[in-house]
Structure 1
């Protein structure tokens, strides 16, 4: 047997021992050959392993969309404009000077209007059926993104009406319902392809049991009022005698040095409006205030812990520095125990959920429809110095000045008016106009519950135009303003380089109910298309 260059050569002729069967001899020869081959392989220098290169990523799709008018919303309209999309991002916006890139899919819509995709500011259309009624209570850790139905065909109806994203809300199902999410309406599985922003805003409600989106309890004979800077019961009013009328059964001044708010719940001969009693409002006010106080206590505990940790780290650093200096000088090292580490604050999921709201880095979204509910929310916002988004707001026109002074954002849900609130609800067709005149930033949503329908957003916007608002202002409301309220204005809501490619082409004015969607692009993917494919330019 010989080994040459890693190859084994066997010389078996004339080497068969007498008395041994051939099979035993063959096994001995094979074993010897294997040992020789292993020894030769071990003696050779190891060859560097060839690393398997990952396959190159697939090329990104390139779209070139040209239209008779491009309305970026954040900039003036462009006649005969064009937009270039690479992957899911907009890379260029301009006029005829923009040429189609090589290998681009060209879509030309001469005489048509290209706008950014509309955004629903508050809806539950894509939540699983029964999700709003599954848990009737408060759960700040609940996230709306966990209850989205990926196979709900409602997104197709919404995209067919020009809506490419929506803020999915848990609605007023509890004092603190959970955290909303912003999703894309282009289909796909739950994940990065579907979710645009989650978690979004923490949601609460003053009267969760008496909302227009839930079954209302029977009304009782109690009335609820809030007086700003009002004298306490029994005190003389400015320039007059003592306050007249029946003595309230409950008085609670708000503990604030700047503004005194008297909360009164008293018997009244007038029935409560929309099923919400005065005690319902008071109960919701106190419950939400307890949650905010819990968030403030959690922030205080975290602040104290951070201060104690900083002091502990400074002390430990000083002791170790002294030990190092003693060793360098050859002196005996003092043996001093390190101070104990400060204990972590007790975990509190509720406090942690309210921490961004208390710190002012996030807005609290509160469902409040009637005047007294909105005043309660504004009182809490002033006390805790938090930023607010008020949803529903059917009677917002009655407190427009207070909303403007509090810098509160408002999400109007026009379908809430006179649907389940009752005939005596003081809704007004000029609600949006009053907010506009007061300089309040407001958006439009389609609402939550069984009546929710994201595909109706464009028709609700058309109703506001019919009531006197400027069409360009309403278009900005359902695109960029809704994106700003939802916290995704840096990613979508307008047509600009670097933003996500959510685009819609209409064959007429975008908010005209007779106009039709010719093309809808969601995150660079065409989800609706009727014509325009490689059409020649006119």
Structure 2
């Protein structure tokens, strides 16, 4: 099947914007440019001057595991019966029929990274998925895409209230060190195993070994600058790839983060100062981080901020000084890189998956909206401007 999006303002993210055509064939991008010839028999969509971009990506959500309006029944974010839950998988708790997936499509978001929560020092394995599908396995882009951990207020509060270890920042750091030390010893036992003397497998330690082997990144929830310093210290002790989730005070250490090439997933931004460690949050932070050379992404932490407001947060960052092109990278290519799927999504490039969105205008303009959304070349969302209603394709 051939699909041609013509008469469009195309923003490929990798490369300069242009007025022209995007040609899609069998679910992938075949060609794009100002002089692309449309083959006979192709389905033509006249963008009528609208903006065509890659689908947006939110690298930190709890979509499908923390269902809105469901209370206890839809809350599967944290398994808080043990501080080390490295083997738990967000994949096993995602409900793809949660309404938030429809909201994501309405916001032009075609991929998300679903994380376990931050109640535990080590919360579990994240998964990168598309935002449309019948069951979660057919939505997966990469599994696992990282191992979620937490420093700061959340784990010390959860276990402090239960009168259990860890109940302080130093106790949380000790929990992480013990877990990685045990995982290293487990690695050694696996390496020394023989067919006659096999080593017993451990799904919790297997997940930690993936981090030690740098197969997946360590996704460290932290807000305060001192917690960020602890995250860096631990990563250098054990040699894993560190990604900072939230990084609220990361702009105070922007030069250090740039020097060490540590990505920051900044957000949520449209929230109150609900606890001590986020009182220094700033919409200026993404721009400060980007100008320092940090690979910054913008996140909603859905449902903390509803997922459809991802682009709104990017626009807010631009309002507070971030370069517009950098803001678009922060919700497309940068998060794709962090979750390990930049070879497939995050920009418009020949050979990549045709996850494409037609916007009514510049998506960084608050008045613009996603009009049509394609995932792998299939139209999954359409907005009717006459009735002001959106329609999601059947799953």
After TM superposition, the score normalised by the length of structure 1 is: 0.65
Decide whether aligned partners of structure 1 residues 525 and 440 sit closer, same or farther in structure 2, where only a CA change above 3 A counts: same
Shift of 1:460: 0.6
Cα distance in 2 for residues equivalent to 1:465 and 1:424: 21
Decide whether aligned partners of structure 1 residues 361 and 423 sit closer, same or farther in structure 2, where only a CA change above 3 A counts: closer
**Alignment partner of 1:435 out of 265, 289, 307:** 289
After TM superposition, the score normalised by the length of structure 2 is: 0.87
Cα distance in 2 for residues equivalent to 1:149 and 1:373: 32
Decide whether aligned partners of structure 1 residues 156 and 286 sit closer, same or farther in structure 2, where only a CA change above 3 A counts: same
Counterpart in 2 of 1:149? Answer: 95
Counterpart in 1 of 2:323? Answer: 470
Contact 1:70–1:114 (8 Å) recurs in 2: yes
Cα distance in 1 for residues equivalent to 2:30 and 2:122: 41
2:111 pairs with 1:165: yes
Counterpart in 1 of 2:228? Answer: 374
Cα distance in 1 for residues equivalent to 2:64 and 2:204: 26
What CA RMSD, in Å, does the superposition of the two structures yield over aligned residues?
2.5
Shift of 1:397: 1.6
Decide whether aligned partners of structure 1 residues 160 and 217 sit closer, same or farther in structure 2, where only a CA change above 3 A counts: same
Contact 1:291–1:350 (8 Å) recurs in 2: no
Decide whether aligned partners of structure 1 residues 119 and 342 sit closer, same or farther in structure 2, where only a CA change above 3 A counts: same
Counterpart in 1 of 2:13? Answer: 73
Query: Which one has a bigger Cα radius of gyration?
Result: 1
Contact 2:265–2:299 (8 Å) recurs in 1: yes
Shift of 1:423: 8.6
Counterpart in 2 of 1:526? Answer: 379
Decide whether aligned partners of structure 1 residues 465 and 528 sit closer, same or farther in structure 2, where only a CA change above 3 A counts: same
2:133 pairs with 1:195: no
Shift of 1:493: 0.6
Shift of 1:424: 7.9
Contact 1:209–1:217 (8 Å) recurs in 2: no
Report the secondary structure of 2:24's partner residue.
strand
Contact 2:57–2:331 (8 Å) recurs in 1: yes
| Residues 283-292 or 130-139, more deviating | 130-139
| Residues 461-470 or 361-370, more deviating | 361-370
Contact 1:84–1:100 (8 Å) recurs in 2: no
Report the secondary structure of 2:39's partner residue.
coil
Decide whether aligned partners of structure 1 residues 424 and 386 sit closer, same or farther in structure 2, where only a CA change above 3 A counts: closer
Report the secondary structure of 2:49's partner residue.
strand
Decide whether aligned partners of structure 1 residues 108 and 199 sit closer, same or farther in structure 2, where only a CA change above 3 A counts: same
**Alignment partner of 1:391 out of 239, 245, 256:** 245
Cα distance in 1 for residues equivalent to 2:244 and 2:133: 29
Structure 2: unaligned runs, 5 residues or longer: 68-73, 386-395
2:171 pairs with 1:283: yes
Report the secondary structure of 1:183's partner residue.
strand
2:238 pairs with 1:292: no
Shift of 1:86: 2.4
Report the secondary structure of 1:509's partner residue.
coil
Shift of 1:494: 0.7
Post-superposition Cα deviations, 1:20-57, rounded to whole Å, max 9, x if no partner, equal xxxxxxxxxxxxxxxxxxxxxxxxxxxxxxxxxxxxxx
Cα distance in 2 for residues equivalent to 1:439 and 1:494: 20
Shift of 1:186: 2.2
Cα distance in 2 for residues equivalent to 1:424 and 1:494: 32
Counterpart in 2 of 1:184? Answer: 130
Counterpart in 2 of 1:359? Answer: 213
Matches within 5 A, 1:395-434: 395-415=249-269, 418-422=272-276, 425-434=279-288
Counterpart in 2 of 1:83? Answer: 22
Counterpart in 1 of 2:61? Answer: 123
Structure 1: unaligned runs, 5 residues or longer: 1-60, 219-277, 310-340, 533-538
Decide whether aligned partners of structure 1 residues 471 and 215 sit closer, same or farther in structure 2, where only a CA change above 3 A counts: farther
Report the secondary structure of 2:372's partner residue.
strand
Shift of 1:217: 6.9
Decide whether aligned partners of structure 1 residues 71 and 429 sit closer, same or farther in structure 2, where only a CA change above 3 A counts: closer
Report the secondary structure of 2:325's partner residue.
helix
Decide whether aligned partners of structure 1 residues 370 and 105 sit closer, same or farther in structure 2, where only a CA change above 3 A counts: same
Counterpart in 1 of 2:50? Answer: 112
Post-superposition Cα deviations, 1:209-263, rounded to whole Å, max 9, x if no partner, equal 358xx87979xxxxxxxxxxxxxxxxxxxxxxxxxxxxxxxxxxxxxxxxxxxxx
Report the secondary structure of 2:168's partner residue.
helix
Cα distance in 1 for residues equivalent to 2:21 and 2:117: 39
Cα distance in 2 for residues equivalent to 1:530 and 1:416: 25
Report the secondary structure of 2:332's partner residue.
helix
Contact 1:403–1:440 (8 Å) recurs in 2: yes
Counterpart in 2 of 1:97? Answer: 36
Shift of 1:101: 4.1
Cα distance in 1 for residues equivalent to 2:59 and 2:126: 11
